[in-house]
Amino acid sequence: MPPPNKKKEVDYAALSSPFMRIPRLPVVVARDLIDLGLRDVFELQGRAPEVLLEEMRRRKPTTPDSHLPFIRLAVYFAENPDPDREKLYPDAWRD
């Protein structure tokens, strides 16, 4: 008999957060922003993505480098009311 299926844990708070309005933002990055005390997209305005990543790492040392392009995209989206469609992809923000 196969083992019972484990139900996947879903982060409903992150899924329903305003951060999910940011195109292509993973739920895990939205959760990390919430864990920093941020509650809305406008709170990202004027923030340095690298500093946000460091703050995330202080709280959760296993935060990967791959979060940085998503954080850069999120800050760009927050600061630009009419964002360039080409910049709404994480690949546009990789080094």
pLDDT, tens digit (0-9, with 9 covering 90-100), for 24-71: 999 999 999 999 999 999 999 999 999 999 999 999 999 999 999 999
For the residues of 9-61, what is the DSSP string, one character each? P--HHHHTSGGGGSTT--HHHHHHHHHTT--SGGGGTT--HHHHHHHHHHH-T
| Residue 6 CB partners (closer than 8 Å, separation 6+) | none
The answer to pTM > 0.85 is yes
